[in-house]
Amino acid sequence: MRKLARQQEDDGAEIDLTPMLDVVFIMLIFFIVVASFIKEAGVEINRPDDNQQTDPNDSVSVLVEVAADNQIWMENRRVDIRAVRANIQRMLAEDPEAPVTIKVEKGAEAGIVVDVADAAREAGVGSVSWASAK
């Protein structure tokens, strides 16, 4: 009798892992399907080619430089991010058709670059050209 009771206890103590594996596989399939529908937002930038000739008329453009240490330079002087829009508006008042070029050095934070581009758009610039510093 004791043997029979002990054998029944041993049989009841086993854990069946099959349902748990089924749940794990269903969750895996769910996450794979969900991940395929997620689209990350970003800014699409068309960078100019290195071998592209520079336009001589581009020398009169409004140039905003973002240094690697996130300093903003306009007309050979350092400018605060809050003054970028006002400076661009002042330059566009002199020549409304002047193109705006943002020159970015490698290592500059993307947030600063986006803030400069937003300031240019708020100043009334239709399109912004991008250049990379060498």
Instruction: Select the more confidently predicted residue: 11 or 129.
Output: 129
pLDDT in tens, 43-56: 777 776 666 555 54
Q: What's the mean pLDDT in 45-68?
A: 69
* Domain extent listing, the chain: 2-37, 59-132
pLDDT value of residue 29: 94
Question: pLDDT > 90: what percent of the chain?
Answer: 28
* Cβ contacts of 103 within 8 Å, gap of 6 or more: 63, 64, 65, 66, 131, 132, 133
Core vs surface per residue 50-82: b (16+ CB within 10 A) or e: eeeeeeeeeeebbbbbbbeeeebebeeeebebe
The answer regarding whether domain 59-132 maps to CATH 3.30.420.270 reads yes
Per-residue pLDDT at 57 = 46
Q: Please give the average per-residue pLDDT across 80-101, as a whole number.
A: 88
- 9: exposed, middle or buried (Cβ count in 10 Å: 0-12, 13-18, 19+): exposed
Question: Roughly what angle, to the nearest 10 degrees, separates helices 84-94 and 110-122?
Answer: 40
pLDDT digits (tens, 9 = 90+) for 17-33: 888 999 999 999 999 88
pLDDT at 56: 46
Read off the pLDDT of each residue in 112-133 and give the average, rounded to a whole number: 86
Quick check: 72 and 78 in contact, CB under 8 A?
yes
Bridge partners, 62 (sequence order): 100
